[in-house]
Structure 1
């Protein structure tokens, strides 16, 4: 790793370990929107673009892992591209500025649920799960 990358990783690790970071989330929706809408003319455009898609794809992977751990299928189509995930997230953030103060991960989740809603699941009835004596 280059020294700049090591400093960046150390800063991320330090921020992730602080109590405030755990409570507030790593990014707000505002911060993610700013990163994802960096102008192509900016000198850090490529870095910000990778940061944007890395965050979004990581959040989606985490959501899908949680669903899998709970024996649920992902509601996001298997053939979705990272570009599509980025597009629906940026579009959602752009149309919902009041919600951008919330955590970025909650906004990625909201964007994907709006684009690909999960079918409603019926709760298991307690009567149906009881065994007869």
Structure 2
């Protein structure tokens, strides 16, 4: 049976951020910690070894695969900072058009630094993501 690798842990978010090598990326991680905490109202938790997540939802796919995941989150990775939101839809794409310098994948948005983005738009993306997961998985919060 498939074992989900990204689970909520008791590891310290602050210790994780303090271990980030690049001082600018560490500073941005603290900025994002404040923004996500304020926007979500949730306490930051570590998910797996490197994702800082906020809130959670329980999903069940048509295949029967199920698990828990953070509603939103981020990770200050070596190359770029990964921001985790709900998968792309029309509303997300329209909001991302106003976001600033970034690249994106299915559920991740990648930025180099917080100074490259519009923080108010980041808060909109956080709200959209939480709304999406609450609508899609109403029994999972």
Q: Which structure is richer in relative contact order (CA contacts within 8 A, separation 6 or more)?
A: 1
Structure 1 or 2: more helix by fraction:
1
Q: Same fold (TM over 0.5)?
A: no
Please say which structure displays the higher CA radius of gyration.
1
Structure 1 or 2: more strand by fraction:
2
**TM-score between the two structures when normalised by the length of structure 2:** 0.29
